[in-house]
Chains A and B, each alone.
Chain A
Amino acid sequence: SQQGEEDPQALSIQEGENATMNCSYKTSINNLQWYRQNSGRGLVHLILIRSNEREKHSGRLRVTLDTSKKSSSLLITASRAADTASYFCATDPYSSASKIIFGSGTRLSIRP
């Protein structure tokens, strides 16, 4: 079963704009991660945020975590054509043995 649900399912924006994707999950977590998947390729880890953290930055990426609402958001600033991909949140449920459970993903398209 899927732990997380991303919103929106698909997003199309103009190059240079910011893209925001949201993730909601069901159970308490140890951490939450975001991954990118280009068409036909494997998943690439982007960023991990721990349950005791509220915000984290990595380059053009900004991730927030609200454990009270069981939600996270991924912001990509100044989008580029190369950012076109599917983005997945993945949770490590509390009391699990480092399980990584993926959501359904957001398909992001960047228009030139």
Chain B
Amino acid sequence: EAGVAQSPRYKIIEKRQSVAFWCNPISGHATLYWYQQILGQGPKLLIQFQNNGVVDDSQLPKDRFSAERLKGVDSTLKIQPAKLEDSAVYLCASSVGWEIPVNTEAFFGQGTRLTVV
């Protein structure tokens, strides 16, 4: 089966510019996650969707970050305006869903490496 697709793979922008990342999860996966991974650290959960509804966005900097999940399938994550500290890898993951909470194996995309200069 096809994996989680993300684009672009790399992006370099200047601070105060805006950027958007796209994610296509595995077909049939109800839960979609966006993570931010700063170099040398573990992934930090930004937002979690269940179908097209937000389950958790407690760590999303809502003054500059936004995310949506179109029709419960694809998702976009946007940063506007970007800051230097937003430089990181943005990872998208999907899992079957919370109906089976003990089987929350997540499948990750390759990520988008963002550099803000």
Whether the Cβ atoms of A42 and B91 lie closer than 8 Å is yes
Q: How many A-B residue pairs have CB under 8 A?
A: 76
Cβ of B25 within 8 Å of any chain A Cβ, yes or no, is no
In the complex, which residues of chain B have a beta carbon less than 8 angstroms from the beta carbon of A43?
A: 43, 91, 93, 106, 108
Whether the Cβ atoms of A42 and B109 lie closer than 8 Å is yes
Whether the Cβ atoms of A31 and B110 lie closer than 8 Å is no
Cβ of B65 within 8 Å of any chain A Cβ, yes or no, is no
In the complex, which residues of chain A have a beta carbon less than 8 angstroms from the beta carbon of B95?
A: 98, 100
In the complex, which residues of chain B have a beta carbon less than 8 angstroms from the beta carbon of A41?
A: 110
Q: For residue A49, give the distance in angstroms from its CB to the closest CB of chain B.
A: 10
Residue of B nearest to A33 (CB): B105
Query: Which bracket fits the contact residues of B?
Result: 20 to 34
Whether the Cβ atoms of B43 and A88 lie closer than 8 Å is yes
Tell which of A30, A45, A48, A97 touches B50, judged by Cβ atoms closer than 8 Å. Answer: A97
Cβ of B107 within 8 Å of any chain A Cβ, yes or no, is yes
Q: Choose the segment among B70-78, B79-87, B96-104 that binds chain A (4+ C-beta atoms closer than 8 Å).
A: B96-104
Cβ of B24 within 8 Å of any chain A Cβ, yes or no, is no
Cβ of A102 within 8 Å of any chain B Cβ, yes or no, is yes
Mostly, the A contact residues are strand
Whether the Cβ atoms of B42 and A97 lie closer than 8 Å is no
Whether the Cβ atoms of A98 and B31 lie closer than 8 Å is yes
Cβ of A50 within 8 Å of any chain B Cβ, yes or no, is yes
A64-108 contacts to B (CB < 8 Å)? 88, 90, 92, 96-105
Q: For residue B82, give the distance in angstroms from its CB to the closest CB of chain A.
A: 22
Q: Mark B47-82, 1 if CB is under 8 A from A, else 0.
A: 010100001100100000000000000000000000
Q: A42-B4, A97-B48 known; 10 other A-B pairs, CB under 8 Å?
A: A30-B102, A33-B104, A35-B108, A42-B111, A44-B108, A48-B104, A98-B48, A98-B104, A99-B55, A105-B42
